[in-house]
């Protein structure tokens, strides 16, 4: 499908934030190209498969079609992009394609041109499917047969290399590039049960090999087998994949970590060479094995025949585009990237020339790119190269260089070698599995026999137990029966004895006097009860009379005081209404004051933006207005409200008023002229109070930011420490979860770390531990502030040691900061890396820290900084530090490292 690159200006490098199929420069001419593709579909269906033949210039000799290992080269033309349609509207394309005869004419001028032949020539409307089938599919089939294969794209920046190779086709499946289609063919031709596919994705950036699937693995060495000469990267991450969706996820993950930059020739120019390595392991069954091997092993039984395994490796290389600095506008770090890209591409061209000319020496060690592609040019891999060019006559020189590169590559012939071996390990595993099955079956039968014996034994024991239980029950019944009979006999004898006793005393009777005495005692008892009942009745009547009297008195008092109570209640209600109204008015006043603060702040921000726009458009009056009246909105705010009133709003009960007030104080504190007024008015104490007492995340974040602004002044730093600011910031760092709040807290502590007088306080009150504790969130902005604080602290310690006011080991090392410093010394984020590199250099200047730094692995980082750091001053400082330390020098001599 269509691909192009716009020629907008810009600069600066950065990570891609989207997948390989979402490049903005490719989308620009997709619609134009699709229309061309629809017109050519019928023509492509009627065309025969292209005959691959050796291509050369018309003046060269005839091609050799019988050489299977020759590098096949195809050329693809990109359609004009939007910028070229306007700039080159009056000029013809610098190239003319003749796809039917596989020729290309490169116009020198209006009457003269050079003609070149290639294995295939693709016009600007050639489909992605046809490009894949002609260029990459033969290589993929060879990989499935056990050969190594390479597909590579070369060309000027912005000519569609990444589109041809790495397009995902999320929006349109017909846009899928070579990487995606190759993996589809591989998965369609393997068996998931017996075959395996693994993927690694690397990039070569500034002559370092980095793992796109694991960004922390950013310096991978190249290992060369001394016997076979094969080159490998054992330190790269290897993912075994089972389906296409897993591969697409890995491809998107890798592309998100690839370096890109905005240049005048390409808004998203690749700044590194991307290398996709696919390892395919296939088990050959049936008639796929070679006949000679079948003859050698036909006497063995089929069950003992070792399976045949073929191992192929597919390498897809998306080279970074060659560019001329004058046209791309690269500068600064982007210029260094362009130099590295051009040097590696130049080294690749030298190697291809040497191989094509059968030179006795091929300079493959000049670049890591050439070392990795050693097998692709002059080795044993089947290689296809697609060169991409643009039609613009302004880039005729780059187009000519690209075409000549392809012509030289066509002269390279590789010696293809199949990687085929018997899988004795698989056979061993198969026999082990069969043996395990026999052992398991034997164990199962033995266990069944043991279980049967155990069952019979248990049944016998159960039967014996049952008989014993029944015997015991019968014995107990018999004993109980005997006891009952004995008790019955005893009971009968007792009854007879009682009867005899009653008969013995029946002759004795009571007299009449006893009956009369009993009657008298009963009458007296009844009289006492009647008297008690009468007394209780009298007491009850007296209580009822008292209750009626008190009730009458209460009614009388209530009727006489009713008028006074009514007036008192009315006055009390009016007083309550006045209190409620006053509270409402106070709340409305506070709300209006908060809105005034917010509107004033927004008006100030709007005025600043308008002044910036005016200065950019060439209106100096707005700038002079700001210079003559610095912060007019805030001066007006002081006049209308007053700083004391603003600070008093920090204690308001209304959350919105409090938030607006703290935002205004934070913005005032950002300017040095206002800091003294804020501190004098008690603003520092108010901010510390907010940080201590309020749990609202917005208030804490803004208050911490205001403290960070105030902490930039040395006088304010001592006041912050005197009022317990370090301990308060440490507690906030431990409790907060919001990354922006942590960034503000880390910034405040980092500013305090730059004061020589506060070193001991920072450690004793937990400032250093809090700074290192915030590492747990791994947020890049927080880590940058932490690194800045550590660099400031190390610089102060280094200065104190040089002046003789400090001795002993660094407080950072004692608090356990060294492992984190070494871990992030080579961080991908440049602010973190720069501060950590400075911290390492300052720590290493004090000889007492050297042994701990060596034990913690800091020596290797210092050596790397002295060689590879992008800043010359830091490199020089690292070299001076290493050369001036006797301990470092002794360790370097022991390790045989030269600095």
Q: What is the pLDDT of residues 52-78, one digit of tens each?
A: 333 333 333 333 344 478 999 999 998
C-alpha 348/C-alpha 320 separation (Å) is 12
C-alpha 727/C-alpha 691 separation (Å) is 11
Residue 742, Ramachandran bin (φ over 0: left; ψ between -120 and 50: alpha; else beta): alpha
C-alpha 257/C-alpha 276 separation (Å) is 14
Residue 555, Ramachandran bin (φ over 0: left; ψ between -120 and 50: alpha; else beta): alpha
C-alpha 715/C-alpha 721 separation (Å) is 10
Closest CA to 305 of 293, 317, 321, 316: 293
| Residue 50 CA: distances (Å) to CA of 100, 116, 129 | 9, 17, 14
Task: Specify the pairing of strand 208-211 against strand 223-224.
Answer: unpaired
Q: What angle do CA 14, 15, 16 make, to 5 degrees?
A: 120
Per the CB < 8 A criterion, the answer to whether 211 and 217 are in contact is yes
Mapping DSSP to helix (H, G, I), strand (E, B) and coil, where does residue 781 land?
A: helix
CB neighbours of residue 63 within 10 Å:
16
Q: Say which DSSP state 18 is in.
A: S
**Per-10-residue mean pLDDT for the chain, 899 residues long?**
36 34 38 38 38 33 51 93 79 87 87 90 93 95 93 91 88 90 94 90 93 90 86 92 92 88 75 93 64 44 66 93 74 83 91 91 91 89 94 88 93 88 74 89 91 90 87 84 76 78 56 44 54 62 65 59 56 69 61 55 50 39 36 49 69 71 78 76 77 73 82 81 83 82 86 84 83 83 88 87 81 85 83 86 86 86 85 86 86 80
* Dihedral angle sign, alpha carbons of residues 114, 118, 123, 124: negative
How many CA atoms within 13 Å lie on the side-chain side of 747?
19
Q: What angle do CA 454, 459, 460 make, to 5 degrees?
A: 100
* Class of residue 597 by CB neighbours under 10 A (exposed 0-12, middle 13-18, buried 19+): buried
C-alpha 863/C-alpha 869 separation (Å) is 10
* Class of residue 587 by CB neighbours under 10 A (exposed 0-12, middle 13-18, buried 19+): middle
Q: Say which DSSP state 383 is in.
A: E
Per the CB < 8 A criterion, the answer to whether 204 and 344 are in contact is yes
What tokens does 11 get? Answer: 């600069």
The per-residue pLDDT for 556 is 61
| Bridge partner list, 209 | 204
C-alpha 480/C-alpha 20 separation (Å) is 96
Alpha helices in 110-236, H assignment, sequence order: 128-131, 137-144, 161-166, 178-188
Q: What is the DSSP string of 514-537?
A: HHHHHHHHHHHHHHHHHHHHHHHH
Mapping DSSP to helix (H, G, I), strand (E, B) and coil, where does residue 437 land?
A: helix
Alpha-carbon Rg of the chain, whole angstroms? 47
| Bridge partner list, 57 | 116
The per-residue pLDDT for 620 is 35
C-alpha 20/C-alpha 555 separation (Å) is 95
C-alpha 270/C-alpha 135 separation (Å) is 22
Per the CB < 8 A criterion, the answer to whether 195 and 240 are in contact is no
Task: Specify the pairing of strand 120-122 against strand 72-77.
Answer: parallel
Q: At what angle do helices 697-710 and 714-722 cross, to 10 degrees?
A: 130
Per the CB < 8 A criterion, the answer to whether 241 and 199 are in contact is yes
Per the CB < 8 A criterion, the answer to whether 222 and 171 are in contact is no
| Residue 676 CA: distances (Å) to CA of 637, 671, 719 | 17, 10, 12
Q: Say which DSSP state 91 is in.
A: S
Task: Specify the pairing of strand 103-107 against strand 113-117.
Answer: antiparallel
**Over the range 875-895, which residues count as b (16 or more CB within 10 Å of their CB) and which as e?**
bebbbebbeebebbeebbeee
C-alpha 175/C-alpha 166 separation (Å) is 10
Q: What angle do CA 611, 616, 621 make, to 5 degrees?
A: 50
The per-residue pLDDT for 690 is 75
The per-residue pLDDT for 612 is 46
CB neighbours of residue 429 within 10 Å:
11
Reported pTM:
0.44
Mapping DSSP to helix (H, G, I), strand (E, B) and coil, where does residue 68 land?
A: coil
What tokens does 418 get? Answer: 């199949």
| Residue 769 CA: distances (Å) to CA of 675, 730, 741, 778, 791 | 28, 8, 17, 16, 15
The per-residue pLDDT for 44 is 39
What torsion, rounded to 10 degrees, do the Cα atoms 480, 486, 491, 493 define? 170
What tokens does 278 get? Answer: 């696919």
């Amino acid at each position: 499908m269509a691909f192009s690159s716009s020629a907008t200006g810009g600069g600066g490098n950065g990570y891609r934030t989207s997948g390989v199929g979402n490049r903005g420069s490719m989308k620009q001419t997709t619609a134009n190209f699709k229309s061309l593709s629809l017109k050519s579909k019928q023509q492509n269906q009627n065309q025969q498969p292209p005959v691959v033949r050796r291509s050369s210039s018309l003046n060269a000799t005839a091609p050799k079609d019988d050489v299977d290992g020759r590098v096949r080269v195809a050329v693809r033309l990109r359609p004009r992009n939007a910028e070229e349609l306007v700039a080159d509207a009056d000029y013809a394309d610098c190239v003319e394609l003749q796809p039917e005869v596989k020729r290309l004419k490169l116009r020198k001028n209006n009457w003269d041109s050079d003609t070149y032949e290639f294995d295939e020539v693709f016009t600007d409307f050639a489909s992605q499917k046809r490009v894949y089938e002609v260029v990459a599919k033969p290589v993929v089939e060879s990989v499935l047969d056990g050969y190594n294969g390479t597909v590579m794209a070369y060309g000027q920046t912005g000519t569609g290399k990444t589109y041809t190779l790495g397009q995902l086709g999320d929006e349109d499946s017909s846009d899928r590039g070579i990487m995606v289609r190759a993996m589809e063919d591989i998965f369609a031709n393997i068996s998931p049960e017996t075959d395996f596919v693994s993927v690694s994705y690397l990039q070569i950036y500034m002559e370092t090999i980095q793992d796109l699937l694991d960004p922390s693995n950013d310096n991978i060495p190249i290992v060369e087998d001394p016997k076979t000469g094969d080159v490998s990267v054992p330190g790269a991450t290897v993912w075994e994949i089972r389906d296409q969706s897993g591969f697409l996820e890995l491809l998107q993950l890798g592309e998100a970590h690839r370096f890109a930059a905005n240049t005048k020739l390409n808004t998203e120019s690749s700044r590194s060479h991307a290398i996709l390595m696919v390892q395919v392991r296939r088990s050959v069954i049936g008639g796929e094995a070679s006949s000679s091997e079948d003859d050698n092993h036909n006497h063995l039984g089929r069950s003992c025949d070792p399976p045949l395994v073929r191992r192929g490796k597919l390498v897809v290389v998306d080279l970074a585009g060659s560019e001329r600095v004058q046209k791309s506008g690269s500068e600064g770090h982007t210029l260094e990237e362009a130099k590295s890209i051009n040097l590696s591409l130049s080294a690749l061209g030298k190697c291809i020339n040497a191989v094509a000319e059968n030179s006795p020496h091929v300079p493959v060690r000049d670049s890591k790119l050439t070392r990795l592609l050693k097998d692709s040019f002059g080795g044993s891999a089947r290689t296809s190269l697609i060169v991409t060019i643009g039609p613009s006559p302004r880039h005729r020189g780059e187009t000519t260089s690209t075409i000549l590169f392809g012509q030289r590559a066509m002269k390279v012939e590789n010696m293809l070698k199949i990687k085929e071996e018997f899988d004795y390990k698989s056979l061993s595993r198969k026999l082990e599995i069969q043996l395990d099955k026999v052992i398991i079956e034997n164990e199962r039968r033995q266990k069944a026999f043991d279980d049967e014996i155990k069952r019979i034994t248990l049944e016998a024991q159960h039967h014996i137990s049952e008989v014993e239980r029944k015997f015991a029950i019968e014995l107990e019944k018999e004993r109980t029966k005997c006891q009952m009979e004995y008790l019955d006999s005893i009971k009968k004898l007792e009854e007879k004895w009682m009867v005899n006793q009653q008969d013995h005393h029946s002759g004795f009777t009571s007299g009449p006097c006893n009956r009369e005495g009993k009657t008298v005692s009963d009458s007296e008892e009844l009289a006492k009860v009647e008297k008690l009942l009468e007394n209780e009745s009298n007491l009850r009547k007296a209580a009822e009379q008292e209750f009626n009297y008190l009730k009458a008195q209460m009614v009388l008092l209530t009727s006489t005081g009713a008028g006074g109570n009514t007036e008192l209640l009315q006055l009390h209600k009016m007083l309550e209404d006045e209190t409620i109204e006053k509270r409402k008015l106070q709340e409305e006043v506070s709300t209006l004051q908060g809105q005034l603060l917010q509107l004033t702040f927004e008006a100030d921000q709007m005025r600043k933006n308008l002044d910036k726009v005016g200065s950019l458009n060439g209106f100096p009056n707005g700038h002079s207005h700001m210079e003559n009246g610095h912060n007019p909105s805030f001066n007006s705010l002081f006049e209308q409200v007053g700083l004391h009133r603003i600070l008093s709003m920090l204690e308001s009960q209304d959350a919105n008023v409090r938030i607006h007030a703290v935002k205004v104080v934070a913005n005032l504190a950002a300017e040095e002229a206002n800091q003294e007024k804020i501190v004098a008015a008690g603003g520092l104490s108010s901010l510390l109070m907010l940080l201590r007492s309020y749990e609202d995340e917005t208030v804490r974040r803004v208050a911490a930011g205001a403290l960070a602004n105030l902490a930039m002044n040395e006088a304010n730093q001592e006041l912050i420490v005197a009022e317990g600011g370090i301990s308060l910031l440490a507690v906030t760092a431990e409790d907060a979860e919001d990354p922006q709040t942590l960034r503000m807290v880390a910034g405040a502590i980092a500013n305090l770390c730059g004061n020589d007088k506060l070193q001991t306080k920072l450690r004793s009150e937990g400032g250093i531990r809090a700074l290192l504790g915030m590492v747990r969130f791994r947020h890049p902005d927080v880590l940058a502030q932490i690194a800045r604080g550590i660099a400031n602290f190390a610089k102060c310690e280094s200065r104190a040691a040089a002046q003789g006011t400090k001795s002993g080991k660094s407080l950072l090392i004692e608090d356990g900061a060294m492992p984190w410093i070494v871990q992030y010394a080579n961080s991908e984020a440049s602010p973190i890396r720069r501060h950590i590199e400075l911290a390492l250099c300052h720590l290493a200047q004090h000889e007492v820290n050297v042994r701990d730094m060596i034990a913690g692995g800091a020596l290797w980082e210092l050596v790397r900084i002295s060689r590879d750091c992008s800043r010359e001053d830091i490199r020089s400082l690292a070299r001076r530090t290493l050369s001036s330390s006797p301990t470092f020098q002794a360790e370097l001599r022991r390790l045989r490292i030269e600095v």
